Amino acid sequence: MDHQFNKIFNFYNEMSPDTWRFIETLRSSHKNELDDFVYITRLMVGRAITQRYIDKIPHKVIPDFLSTLSPLAGIAAWRTTQGIYEFDPDLFEEAWNTPIEGNIPVEILFKLPEWCIYIPTPGKQRNGLDLLGFFAYIDTFPNPRTSIPEYYFNIIYNHNGRLDEASVPLLAHASLEDCLKHLQEANDLQYNKISGDIPAIKATYLETIEDIAPFLSLCLYVASQAGEINHPTGAGKPAFPTPTRTKKGERYFPPNKPTQWEVGYRMGAALREARALQENSLEVAETSQKTSARPHIRRAHWHTYWTGPRSQEQIPVLKWLPPIPVNLDLGDIVPTIRPVKEPALSL
Answer whether residue 304 is part of any domain.
Answer: no
Cα-only R_g, the chain: 22
Q: What is the mean pLDDT of residues 130-153?
A: 92
pLDDT score, position 345: 44
Is the pTM here over 0.75, yes or no?
A: yes
Answer whether residue 257 is part of any domain.
Answer: yes
Single-letter amino acid code for the residue at 162? R
Residues 37/110, Cβ–Cβ less than 8 Å: yes
Within its chain, how far is the Cα of 214 from the centroid?
A: 10
pLDDT score, position 197: 59
Determine the structural domain holding residue 196 and report its residue range. 77-262
Answer whether residue 254 is part of any domain.
Answer: yes
Residues 139/100, Cβ–Cβ less than 8 Å: no
Kindly give, in sequence order, each residue whose CB lies less than 8 Å from that of residue 230, ignoring residues fewer than 6 positions away.
Answer: 237, 261, 262, 265, 337
pLDDT score, position 87: 97
pLDDT above 80: residue 155 = yes
In this structure, the chain runs to a length of 347
pLDDT score, position 331: 47
Instruction: Dump pLDDT digits (tens) for 276-324.
Output: 776 665 555 555 555 455 555 567 888 888 888 888 888 888 988 887 6
Answer whether residue 193 is part of any domain.
Answer: yes
Answer whether residue 244 is part of any domain.
Answer: yes
User: Strands 259-263 and 83-87, how do they pair?
Assistant: parallel
pLDDT above 70: residue 205 = no
SS3 state at 244: strand
Q: What is the mean pLDDT of residues 206-222?
A: 86
DSSP string, 61-110: GHHHHHHHHTTHHHHHHHHTT-EEEEEPHHHHHHHHTS---SS-BGGGGG
pLDDT above 70: residue 326 = no
Answer whether residue 267 is part of any domain.
Answer: no
Q: What is the mean pLDDT of residues 74-88?
A: 96
Cα 111 to Cα 214: distance, rounded to the nearest angstrom: 18
Distances (CA, A) of 228 to 280, 315, 321, 345: 29, 21, 13, 27
Confidence bin at 247 (pLDDT 50/70/90)? confident
Q: What is the mean pLDDT of residues 66-71?
A: 75
Overall domain count for the chain? 1
pLDDT above 90: residue 96 = yes
Q: What is the mean pLDDT of residues 130-141?
A: 96
- CB count within 10 Å of CB 227 equals 10
Residue with the larger pLDDT of the pair 107 and 277? 107
Cα 100 to Cα 106: distance, rounded to the nearest angstrom: 11
Answer whether residue 302 is part of any domain.
Answer: no
Q: What is the mean pLDDT of residues 85-102?
A: 94
Answer whether residue 83 is part of any domain.
Answer: yes
Q: What is the mean pLDDT of the chain?
A: 82
